[in-house]
Structure formats: structure tokens, C-alpha cells
Amino acid sequence: MQWLKAAPNANLHPPIALDVCNPWPQIGQDAIFTANTVHIMPWRAVTDLFLGASETLPSRGLLCLYGPFIYTRKSLAASNKRFDKQLKQRDPTQGLRYVEALDRLAKRSGLKLVADMTMPTNNQLLVWQKHC
């Protein structure tokens, strides 16, 4: 938020608190960004995230997820294995999500994976684009 105050721009809205399981506000966004959230959300909420994004994004709009993820055919970093175990011990509905499962959800919601970028500290940035 500090950078929004330091460099205001008419086309940038401040972040909003969003409960993905309830009706989404209609604010005319071109992109949705969330960081370090899907691993602490129950799967039903993850599903609602993708459905809500699909319903509110315009054609070619973007859904961007940042955080730790699991790939079926790639080794998981030891730190992410520990983190996943801690999450599941705390709440069995939590845990790192498989990119392939997220992508299946995205496809059913009319979103196509357009970027998968490696980020620092064993994180990824996944970007889906709405195609209509």
C-alpha cells in the first residue's frame, strides 16, 4: 500500500479484502493477484477463486498466483516439504497445491496457463489468462 500512496495512479485500485466464497465485487479489474493464499484455503475456496476470477475477469484478463506449489514430476524442496507437512498437521484442508490440479480447475473455468515463473525461495508465479 505504501507504494500506492507514494506514486498514485488513476488506473490502480488499492487492494481489496475478498472472501472468494461470497459474491465478488464488480470493480472492473483486468487482473487478480494473490500471494501465499491457496495453500491455506480449503479446496472448495480454491475452486471458488478460479470460478470467481472467470466470472469477473474480462476476456484476456489475468489470474496470478504466487507462492509454493507442487509439480507431479518434480522434486519438492525440503523446506517446502516441511511447510506442507506443517500446514496439513495444523489443518487437513490446507497444504501445497499441485500445479496440475490448479490447471485442471483453471481449464474448467475458461482460463489458460500462460506463464509459470520460478521465483525466490522455492516459490512460483503462475499466470492464467481468460479466453472467451
Q: Is the pLDDT of residue 1 over 70?
A: no
DSSP code, position 94: -
Torsion of CA 80, 120, 99, 31, to 10 degrees: 140
Whether CATH 3.30.200.20 fits 30-130:
no
pLDDT tier for residue 86 given thresholds of 50, 70 and 90: very high
**Residue 72 Cα to chain centre, angstroms:** 18
For the stretch 5-52, pLDDT in tens is 787 777 777 777 889 999 998 888 899 999 999 999 999 999 999 999
- Please give the full DSSP string across 7-25, using - where no structure is assigned: S--TT-PPP----TTSPPP
15-19, 76-80, 117-121, 125-129: which has the minimum mean pLDDT? 15-19
Q: What is the pTM of this model?
A: 0.89
Residue extents of the structural domains in the chain: 30-130
Q: Is the pLDDT of residue 64 over 90?
A: yes
For the stretch 87-107, pLDDT in tens is 999 999 999 999 999 999 999
DSSP code, position 30: S
